[in-house]
Structure 1
């Protein structure tokens, strides 16, 4: 039988559901007047900050009463962390949620991709106050295997100061919320206080003495007349770059010289940096507001403005062997590759390269050779060594600007509850490249480039209705239905001409465009738009005191690829006052994003130790289509989950098993070599200079996977050491198998990364101890074995299996008085080092550690914090 508190809370919340269930935000103080205040107070005392609305359109429930697994993380819990980045804080709070740093990864350096339950970032739907959050404009071209090609929202713009709590639904919910909710849903609930506030100053750095981070954030609640609120939060952050690098041996050999030759004095040390990018002017402002118009009507609005700049490094361009910039291969005998020699790529102003002679690049320092000096002395001849004699490492600069606004009205019309809202969101990533060249422009090339921008824009209109019905002998059946219209666009803005133009020396074999990140040309620029409508019905009811049953059905129609129909069934059986069982079954889908359908880019990759230019093309582009690209279709999923909840006095335990099958997963294909035998056919298809493109990738419905796992969450409250203590355990086991894939578009290395690229076992054990003025939190983090890769290389040279690891975090807080709290702490307090690269790999590209590990390869990070509440 259900406990009296649970049953009464559910029934007394029926009239409250209007103002809560469809907006996804907890009610303001005034809204509680509609419920039995004493019963609400009892429930809140027993489960402070543990009431969630995500995953149901009936009355809000405690996490123990939910028929699907939900994690709720309070703002205070998030702050017990040295990092002020929302992604880092969630990684330490939700075991099945993972992310890693992206030191050299194009645009993924700016917005890190994440994954929940072993699925990519765009398989998790992100909500703010229950409303869909727009996705970022950045697509993770090098997303660490799982996230290759993913385009998810940017959660890092949300400051902790703005949050009341984060609700994480670990269950498929596409039938309730639409596309992207295959792995689950994350709902960020904004603060709604109408008084008080806080101001926090945090500063920290890594044990190595770099990566100094300064963060200032604040929050204030203000009344909006006597019946409303406006809550404003802001954060400003700066972070220095880090470096876990050594000098590359190829750069060192040229710098110091051999065989009695003088070294090249223009080589930087280190020539290439592996580390976090530098962040500057990183600010974010969130505003949340609500107004009770009368007893049955409430207005609400919220939104944000955010911006940040980041500068990170790329791969080093060796001044003697970087093909199509500094050098070329001279084939002596086409049938004998051992006879090939490498010589300097020399350009001729008059177009006749043969008049410039041959300059061998197979020497310790080409600048010291007589052939090079003679070439330089010839006014008709040149090489890129004259501009960058020590080679160069391009720096990737980006500016991310993000904004959103949602407004709505909700209330009662007779026995019906309604919620009508409209919202828009915009994310723009403007790209630049410094310390680079457009080799095809010769000696006239600039070295800094504006390479263009991506812009993602989404708008939506939602109208939702709900009420409670009596159907036969079943009372208080929650019935909800609604309509959603969404429009999504992806725009590519053209870069400056020098960043993309094929200069006069392209025909002589010099690379086109700014090297490292080719600018977007007029053929790439443009805007693509898609719209869709969705209609859903959601029914949920207690069949009796012991059984809860829910059914959801959703139909969506897209302007590009057609329609889809999905369902979800949930059930909960209350066996005793302490034990209940739950289960769910659902189908789902993830629509290909407009960006994935239309994105164009050029990235630099390492293949067999050589840097190559890879062109990323839309799947229907002539180049991609030639090598197998087809129109994208939505991913389809089917999931089941079973588990139980056990609550006894101060002990709480949940156990959940899940199984998610995804067919037609969308991902960036493996690199397809552009072959010399295809050049003529590619030119006929409209591809310019195919001989200067080493490889092409595109997005495809590449493979089918099955992901299964177990989530265990346990809490125990007790008295210890003359204070209050709480022990928390969160464990996740995730196993992904690739059931089907096309070897033409997905190689074995990528399959290995999908299956083993993140630890199968992950756990956190936290002890939180509190006294009157002191709070101490100690967290241990366990990371199981995983498959590590370096520079996205899955060969034996760049990858290996890595064993498990444990790190420890510590946070200590002391309240000077009711207003001021001082905190110190450290993440990875014992400075557990990341896995070192193996012999033969370590240092070859300037790196020391595998950057694909599950925890920060930069090492320990310590911090101090001052918080003022008013």
Structure 2
């Protein structure tokens, strides 16, 4: 759209001229406006996020903003948007999450030490829908989080990413407690790029191939259609050793024991395709039409916990406990207490907590090496009895996976009214629909209650998330005889969110004929969603907001934002934000903000229920996640979810000296009534009786329950420091960039519902100190960059078990890439991430095989902030047209 408003044009020109230089954590001198870059390579980057007045430079913003250009994102060897951002924004963290249930399918990320659903994601300035995946095994910070799926966004489609590092709920609504990320799609009407890259880890696994492309096309004479695609496949990785218990079975001669019973590593990703489109059309000199959206789909498959036939009787059946040659069983008294008592020589079928579930079957003795007697196992068939040891003598390891589909469409119009009472008012009217679906699969497992008739593969059901959003934004500059026009903006927003649970195939949830004998029901590891679990849950809310920015003098700017939201579930909330910037000199300005915020509980968190197999104190147990209003959850302390509330403030400075650009910002975020999954609470026998009376089958095999709750408060504080310097060196153009983040989270209030270990994870899992230092060098036909990544000490945790936790050492990894430009169109690149193959913190199992943190076959603590897979090298070919 051709801008006609003089005040807006002047504001943009002022923003462009205010400061010089400024690549923020950037390894290339690419500004937001490509045409301006051709005129002056040192023009400041311009951000749209964080203001409803004219776009402003990052150095002239009253709040801290990072801008990462599209070329910088494409310069990394990693093909995942999450990993690309982690290398550019030090306060952004993401883990690879091996063996973490649905969190392996959609990885949650953290900005400023807060969970993924505390950062609002925008696409072209419009709210992005959240994923349908809830991180049931998120561990610590992301336990129970339901954020947007950033990984579907291909770097080749991005013009720039704007990261607002400040609370912004008063401007944008729920989820903006930690900040806002705005992904700006490319909008060129000509040219394009085709890129092919392939790489693998130094260990020889994890082969990754990616083909991506972007093309800009004219859309009539007055518009553009910019289209991007990315297709990727990635093999699984393994950083495991054989589990001691599986090794013992092999040594005892048990057949069919996998040589690697349990795998810790990245999952296999197949047919990962994303298609993004961005369309704009100038309707008149004062208005334009826009439309953008995406379709993305991928298949993911990863490992789960090994089922040992001698320690998982609820799955296998047919196992007994023998003491001094006497077969024992375990009855329960009314209080749920258990003790081993002598019994007649019959086999206990089902769990060791099977509570008198017996059959008239032959005795199956456990030998001294822990292996059931094979002759006795063979005699079960003749007696019309069974145990899974007959068909799975070496145990089995379920594989968990899913198909993730993500799609969205935004249509709108924006421009300037040229007549009537709204003359000179800028408007933006839009509607957005976003949908994310996760269909789950689990392979190589059993439904033990079906006996030998069980299938081995199951489809346990699916979750889906549908969001609709309609926005009307209005803004106008008013002359109050100040330095510049006062911009007053306001608007309305309507939002609807629907979370749907679809039941799985019958075999995945059915209670078979052996249920009453103590066998577990449903697909072991991830039981299917029953028809009674299925349902559609919807919530609506609307908002009204006002936003004022007043330049009292050329040196002093203040802004005020107020937002009112009304939810049909929990009621209303009102939030505000005050921000200011003062130019002390031409080279130095100070800035700060004070704000309140909120995060509404998601519909999924309020209504989802699930049964999962997870580790508790190193032992696999079935645990039920219940809605917080379920009678059992209420009995254990659950209540209807309320929104989180936050208070935050920032204070910082921006300094420029020639080609040096420096920003320092302190932030403090206090969040009350944070929402997360409770600690897993052990069920008493009376609890189980109530559940059983409510019609839940196989209650006696459930050991624990959890639910979502507002249970704890936190204070997160930190410092962001950014320095950037450009110069001529080594016969070419050089850019130096330093970014440092100190972040500290303290849990200031919690109860036993959260638990002390989870508090420790919230406070210590992420490194308090992170930094990146980048050198980018450009010659006539060669460019190169190297980045050092520093990760401070963090808490190493294995299998979410406190007995394995330790303080892991700080580490440095190096990324590097060199590119040769054959001509203006063709270039070739070679590069590596973690160039020197820095290992993650190793588990302490060398001195004592079978030590607690070696029982599950891992080699490294999976909370490593730079992953556990080691070095990765790649080659890339690019054709630009």
Q: CA deviation at 1:387?
A: 2.9
Q: Deviations over 1:62-103 (max 9, x none)?
A: 110010000000111112211110000000000000001011
The partner residue of 1:346 within 329, 345, 349 is 349
* 1:838 to partner: Cα distance: 1.1
Q: 245, 249, 267: which one pairs with 1:250?
A: 245
Q: What displacement does 1:339 show?
A: 7.3
Aligned partner (choices 123, 126, 131) of residue 131 of structure 1 = 126
For 1:323 and 1:340, locate their aligned partners in 2 and report how far apart those are by CA, in whole Å: 19
Per-residue Cα deviation, 1:339-370 (whole angstroms, up to 9, x for no partner):
7999965379xx98431033234543645443
User: 1:526 and 2:535 equivalent?
Assistant: yes
2:791 equivalent to 1:783: yes
Residue 389 of structure 1: how far off its partner (Å): 1.9
Give the 3 Å change call, closer, same or farther, for CA 170–785 of structure 1 in structure 2: same
Cα distance in 1 for residues equivalent to 2:815 and 2:568: 49
Deviations along 1:398-428, one digit per CA (max 9) or x if unpaired, are: 0000000000011111211111000100000
Matched position secondary structure for 2:363: coil
Q: Distance in 2 between matches of 1:587 and 1:331?
A: 58
Mapped contact 1:836–1:842 kept (Cα < 8 A)? no
Q: Is 1:857 equivalent to 2:868 in the alignment?
A: yes
Q: Does the 8 Å contact 1:651/1:714 carry over to 2?
A: yes
Distance of aligned partners of 1:670 and 1:274 in 2 relative to their CA distance in 1, 3 Å threshold: same
Q: Deviations over 1:503-545 (max 9, x none)?
A: 1111110001100001000111010000000100000021001
**Which residue of 1 is the match for residue 170 of structure 2?**
175
Q: Which residue number in structure 1 is paired with residue 593 of structure 2?
A: 584
Aligned residues: 832
Change (3 A) 1:336 1:470: closer
The corresponding residue for 1:829 is 835
Structure 1 segments (4+ residues) deviating >6 Å: 14-17, 332-336, 338-344
Query: Which residue in the other structure is 1:12 paired with?
Result: 10
Q: What does the per-residue CA deviation read over 1:372-399, in whole Å, with 9 as the maximum and x for residues that have no partner? A: 2322332x21112223221110001200
Q: Which residue is equivalent to 1:27?
A: none
State the distance in 1 between where 2:627 and 2:589 align.
Answer: 49
Paired position in structure 1 for 2:420: none
| 1: CA distance, partners of 2:705 / 2:453 | 29
Q: Hey, what does 1:364 align to over in structure 2?
A: 369
Q: Superposition pairs for residues 664-703 of structure 1, below 5 Å?
A: 664-703=673-712
Distance 1:758 1:340 in 2: 50
CA separation of 1:187/1:677 partners in 2, compared to 1, >3 Å: closer, same or farther? Answer: same
Corresponding residue SS for 2:140: coil
Distance of 2:442 and 2:200 partners within structure 1: 27
User: Post-superposition shift, 1:328?
Assistant: 6.1
Q: Which residue of 1 aligns with 2:27?
A: none
Question: Would you say the 8 A contact 1:49–1:165 is kept in 2?
Answer: no
* CA distance 1:10–1:841, shift in 2 (3 Å): farther
Q: Given the alignment of the two structures, is residue 281 of structure 1 paired with residue 271 of structure 2, yes or no?
A: yes
Query: Is the CA contact (8 Å cut-off) linking 1:9 and 1:43 kept in structure 2?
Result: no
Looking at structure 2, the residues matched to 547 and 44 of structure 1 have their Cα atoms a distance apart, in angstroms, of: 29
Q: Supply the distance in 2 between the matched residues of 1:62 and 1:471 (Cα, whole angstroms).
A: 24
Task: Answer yes or no: is the 8 Å Cα contact 1:343–1:360 preserved in 2.
Answer: no
Distance 2:139 2:510 in 1: 31
Q: Report the equivalent of 2:291.
A: 301
Identify the residue that residue 28 of structure 2 maps to in structure 1: none
Give the aligned partner of residue 73 of structure 2.
Answer: 78
Structure 1 86/41 Cα, relative in aligned 2: closer, same or farther at 3 Å?
closer
Partner of 2:554: 545
CA distance in 1, matches of 2:367, 2:147: 46
8 Å CA contact 1:320, 1:344 repeated in 2: no
Alignment-derived partner of residue 259 in structure 2: 269
- Using the TM superposition, give the Cα deviation of residue 265 of structure 1 relative to its aligned residue in structure 2, in angstroms: 1.5
**Secondary structure in 2 aligned to 1:794?**
strand
**Deviates most, 676-685 or 394-403:** 676-685
> What residue in structure 2 maps to residue 32 of structure 1?
none
* Structure 1 equivalent of residue 857 of structure 2: 846
- Determine if contact 1:104/1:312 at 8 Å carries over to the other structure: yes
Q: Is the 8 A contact 1:264 1:365 kept in 2?
A: no
Q: Which runs of 5+ in 2 are unaligned?
A: 1-5, 16-32, 322-327, 418-422, 846-850
Residues 133 and 328 of structure 1: CA distance in aligned 2, closer, same or farther (over 3 Å): farther
The worse-fitting range, judged by mean Cα deviation, of 598-607 and 302-311 is 598-607
Q: Where in structure 2 are the equivalents of 1:734-749 lying within 5 Å?
A: 734-743=743-752, 745-749=753-757
Q: How does 1:58-73 map to 2 (within 5 A)?
A: 58-73=53-68
Distance in 2 between the 1:361 and 1:155 partners? 50
Give, in whole Å, the separation in 2 of the partners of 1:373 and 1:367: 11
Deviations 1:784-829 (A, max 9, x none): 001110011122xx11111100111111111000001110010000
Q: 1:812/1:589 Cα in 2 relative to 1: closer, same or farther (>3 Å)? A: same
**Aligned-residue RMSD, C-alpha:** 2.2
Q: List per-residue Cα deviations over 1:13-36 (Å, max 9, x = no partner).
A: 46999xxxxxxxxxxxxxxxxxxx
- Tell me by how many angstroms 1:604 deviates: 1.5
> Residue deviations 1:94-121, cap 9 Å, x none?
0000001011011000010000000000
Matched, 1:322 2:330: no
CA drift of 1:680 comes to 2.5
CA–CA separation in structure 2 for the residues paired with 1:49 and 1:368:
76
Structure 1 residue 373 and structure 2 residue 378: aligned? yes
CA distance in structure 1 between the partners assigned to 2:496 and 2:247 by the alignment: 53
Q: Distance in 2 between matches of 1:756 and 1:373?
A: 51
Quote the offset at 1:602 in angstroms: 1.7
Indicate if the aligned counterparts of 1:452 and 1:492 stay in contact, CA closer than 8 A: yes
Asked whether the equivalents of residues 842 and 849 of structure 1 are also in contact (C-alpha less than 8 Å), the reply is no
Write the mapping of 1:243-642 to structure 2, written as runs, cut at 5 A.
243-257=238-252, 263-326=253-316, 327=319, 330-331=328-329, 345-346=348-349, 353-361=358-366, 363-364=368-369, 366=371, 368-378=373-383, 380-413=384-417, 414-471=423-480, 473=482, 475-642=484-651
The question of whether the paired residues in 2 share the 8 Å contact of 1:346 and 1:381 is answered with no
Deviation string, structure 1 residues 208-239 (Cα, Å, up to 9, x no partner) = 00000000000000000110000000000000
- TM-score under structure 1 length normalisation: 0.93
